[in-house]
Amino acid sequence: MERKGDGSGLGCSELSFGSVFTGSSPKLSDGTRFTGSPSRTGSLKDTRNSCPRVDVFVCTADPTIEPPIMVISTVLSAMAYDYPPEKLAIYLSDDAGSDLTFYALLEASIFARQWIPFCKKFNVQPRSPAAYFVSTSPPDDGGGQSQTRDFLAIKKLYREMEDRIETATMLGRIPEEARLKHEGFSQWDSYSSKRDHDTILKILIDSKDPCSTDIDGSALPTLVYLAREKRPQHFHNFKAGAMNALIRVSSKISNGANHSQSRLFLRVITNVEFHGTDGCGGPLYIGTGCFHRRDTLCGREFNQDSKIDWKKHDDHRRQQSVHELEAEAKTLASCTFEQNTQWGNEMGLKYGCPVEDVITGLSIQCKGWKSAYLNPERKAFLGLAPSTLPQVLVQHKRWSEGDFQILLSQYSPAWYAHGRISLGLQLGYCCYCLWAPNCLATLYYSIIPSLCLLKGISLFPQVSSPWFLPFAYVIFGKYISSLVEFIRADGTVLGWWNEQRIWLYKRTSSYLFATTDTILKKLGFGDTAFAITDKVADEDVSERYEKEMMEFGSASPMFVVLSTLAMLNLFCLVGVVKKVIMNESFARLYQTMPLQILLCGVLVLVNFPLYQGLLLRKDRGRMPTSVTLKSSAVALLVCAIFSFLH
């Protein structure tokens, strides 16, 4: 006989889901105030004079998980922008201070002399050589013999460069010949470790130098390597610290009005949610794929005089030699430079938050600046998204933890931003900031209804009750609208279904750990950390990725939580099926607990790859046996305790 359950947990969960849903309402607004793109506003050649200077920042912090060859492909793609080279400067910040990355950048500065004219001549897409040579085969005769010849020649050059860099990376040592040839390597003479070294700075290409030209004699963009000073006694503030050093150093060298950073692509967030927030004052700054005016990052308030006449501001003359300039710029990246200054607080990217980008963007918008969303057909930025489940979960833990910290910080979108930005944008920020605590509602829905189903306790209204309708409406409405959003963002139904899986996994593991860590930090336990997203995968991991197999492989605590939830739902479903077979009529069960049956069934379906990993797979990507044992034992225990208590 079924019993009525206590609705307070359900009510809190609904409230929590409702608050996130309300927060996501800005996406319904029809944004896109800014539709212009270089291709629509005429050729860049015509508008050359009015183009602002642009400084592009590329960050790296570990040559093992961000391999130098990958880093320089990003650099080369930015160098090959269809943009006046004398107005473009590319900066590579290397927080590992690795001579291997420097060596790769040196190689890139030489390869760029051939790559940039090749890109311009044949309008190459994409302009990252690594991506281009993987996705493009030699042009057929339609391109003409010269194109085929040039393609094969540049590909050969690229492969040779790739070989040299990969060999050096594998050996962990720079070829002696290269070391002797370039004075830049002498800066590593005093290097002790990645956490203890002087500032290393080298202008590898100076666009003002008439000798810095490509093979066609055209100017090349400026290219700079920077490893800011690191000392064990000075906290380095992760990416925010690196970015602030770059902002200061670049202001000395090229003083580009705008900055951008490369990487990353998030389908629904960028295509749907940012499109919506654009109508409420502009999308969030998510650290990548954005351009900024330099003064917005330097803490300036917006006022009527903030409008820039780009032509006037373009005049960046320089008296010093490159060596003098390097020496002067080095002091700006020293550990002590920021002492007793507003850097990291009122100036530059903010410190102390694992999502330095979002908190900085919020404070910029609170100072009256607006951002604009531009999503041209030809993507301005393409990046690398994590390809394995552990990478996704670690990345989302950092993001959701950082966003939750912002909610509780002095810059909270809930109170600090009130009156400073539009209500729609405030809600938009809150939606992301509530990701982490929302795990509690998701956990409730993943555990309690299934356990109650096992015990015959009805939580939701019966099919015959008029209250059934709002629940059914919300559930179906939510899923249909998310499917439509996904398809609108060029996704597929299968992609959407996989997204639902990842949605559940993130919420029940990353967000749970993020919530716990945030609360512990608030209570004074633990420090802020920045777990860098791994950008490489072993060969067999990549093979499984190609076969669309989910990667587990490690006994991480997040996997224990996910597996326990999956096993618990499986046990509950098996228990119900057993009950139906033994004595109950399915029709009666369905009449009284349809939503619980549906929920438990869907959870089991969603968790299918987990059951495969826990029970069926034999490859190295399977779940470790210890996780299978732990999760099954805990799930059984919870079912037993619940049955005993009720």
Ligand X SMILES: O=c1ccn([C@@H]2O[C@H](COP(=O)(O)OP(=O)(O)O[C@H]3O[C@H](CO)[C@@H](O)[C@H](O)[C@H]3O)[C@@H](O)[C@H]2O)c(=O)[nH]1
What amino acid positions are annotated as catalytic residues? 95, 357
CB of 487 to ligand X, least distance (A): 25
Q: Which is nearer to ligand X, 119 or 223 (CB)?
A: 223
Amino acid at 378: R
Dihedral sign of CA atoms 494, 498, 501, 503 in order: negative
CB of 504 to ligand X, least distance (A): 20
Site mask, ligand X, residues 9-48, x = CB under 6 A?
Answer: ----------------------------------------
643 CB neighbour count, 10 Å cutoff: 12
CB of 141 to ligand X, least distance (A): 41
Nearest in space to 370 (alpha carbons), one of 41, 23, 31: 31
Distance CA 393, CA 385 (A): 12
Out of 347, 532, 536, 598, the only residue in the binding site for ligand X (CB under 6 A) is 532
Q: Which is nearer to ligand X, 281 or 287 (CB)?
A: 287
Stretches 54-62, 572-580, 584-592, 608-616: which one binds ligand X (CB under 6 A)? 54-62
Show contacts with ligand X in window 448-507 (CB under 6 A): none
Q: Which is nearer to ligand X, 265 or 503 (CB)?
A: 265
Site mask, ligand X, residues 550-569, x = CB under 6 A?
Answer: --------------------
Q: Is position 530 an interface residue for ligand X (rule: CB under 6 A)?
A: yes
Show contacts with ligand X in window 110-149 (CB under 6 A): none
Q: Which is nearer to ligand X, 239 or 507 (CB)?
A: 239
Please count the residues of this chain forming the interface with ligand X, following the rule CB under 6 A: 23
CB of 404 to ligand X, least distance (A): 13
Strands 291-293 and 258-261: antiparallel
Strands 200-205 and 222-227: antiparallel
Residue 438, SS3 per DSSP:
coil
Q: How far is CA 187 from CA 97, 98, 226, 425, 560, in A?
A: 10, 11, 11, 47, 46
CB of 403 to ligand X, least distance (A): 9
Stretches 325-333, 414-422, 530-538, 568-576: which one binds ligand X (CB under 6 A)? 530-538
Helices (H), 47-181: 68-79, 99-122, 129-135, 145-171, 176-181
Are 89 and 56 spatial neighbours (Cβ–Cβ below 8 Å)? yes
Longest dimension (CA), the chain: 91
Site mask, ligand X, residues 369-408, x = CB under 6 A?
Answer: --------------------------x--xx---------
> What are residue 388's DSSP bridge partners?
none
Stretches 186-194, 216-224, 448-456, 526-534: which one binds ligand X (CB under 6 A)? 526-534
> Six-digit token pair at 516?
């716990």
68 preceded by cis ω (within 30°)? no
Site mask, ligand X, residues 323-362, x = CB under 6 A?
Answer: -------------------------------xx-x-----
438 CB neighbour count, 10 Å cutoff: 22
Q: Which is nearer to ligand X, 249 or 441 (CB)?
A: 249
CB of 394 to ligand X, least distance (A): 9
Q: Which is nearer to ligand X, 238 or 404 (CB)?
A: 238
Residue 6, SS3 per DSSP:
coil
Stretches 53-61, 159-167, 208-216, 574-582: which one binds ligand X (CB under 6 A)? 53-61
The kind and range of the H/E element at 205 are: strand 200-205
Nearest in space to 565 (alpha carbons), one of 617, 504, 621, 624: 504
Ordered strands of the 88-94 beta sheet: 200-205, 222-227, 88-94, 54-60, 258-261, 291-293
Site mask, ligand X, residues 262-301, x = CB under 6 A?
Answer: -xx----------------------xx-------------
CB of 476 to ligand X, least distance (A): 33
Contacts of 468 (CB under 8 A, 6+ apart): 460, 461, 462, 594, 595
Residue nearest to ligand X (CB): 287
Q: How far is CA 516 from CA 404, 439, 486, 520, 636, in A?
A: 11, 10, 30, 6, 25
Distance of alpha carbon 253 from its chain centroid, rounded?
Answer: 29
Out of 13, 16, 24, 60, the only residue in the binding site for ligand X (CB under 6 A) is 60
Out of 10, 54, 56, 61, the only residue in the binding site for ligand X (CB under 6 A) is 61
Q: Which is nearer to ligand X, 184 or 354 (CB)?
A: 354
Q: How far is CA 609 from CA 174, 451, 551, in A?
A: 43, 22, 9
CB of 261 to ligand X, least distance (A): 6
Helix, strand, coil percentages (3-state) for the chain, rounded to 5, are 55, 5, 40
Show contacts with ligand X in window 87-106 (CB under 6 A): 93, 95
Show contacts with ligand X in window 209-268 (CB under 6 A): 238-239, 242, 261, 263-264
Q: What is the dihedral of CA 177, 178, 183, 185, to 10 degrees?
A: -110
CB of 399 to ligand X, least distance (A): 6
Distance CA 242, CA 349 (A): 9
Q: Which is nearer to ligand X, 111 or 238 (CB)?
A: 238
Distance CA 209, CA 109 (A): 14
Q: Which is nearer to ligand X, 480 or 531 (CB)?
A: 531
Q: Which is nearer to ligand X, 259 or 630 (CB)?
A: 259
141 CB-side CA count, 13 A? 0
Stretches 55-63, 369-377, 472-480, 572-580: which one binds ligand X (CB under 6 A)? 55-63
Contacts of 28 (CB under 8 A, 6+ apart): 276
Q: Which is nearer to ligand X, 79 or 447 (CB)?
A: 79
CB of 589 to ligand X, least distance (A): 45
CB of 532 to ligand X, least distance (A): 4
Q: Which is nearer to ligand X, 188 or 530 (CB)?
A: 530
Show contacts with ligand X in window 583-602 (CB under 6 A): none
CB of 348 to ligand X, least distance (A): 13
Distance CA 158, CA 264 (A): 24
Dihedral sign of CA atoms 59, 65, 71, 73 in order: negative
Q: Which residues of the chain form contacts with ligand X (CB under 6 A)?
A: 59-61, 66, 93, 95, 238-239, 242, 261, 263-264, 287-288, 354-355, 357, 395, 398-399, 530, 532-533
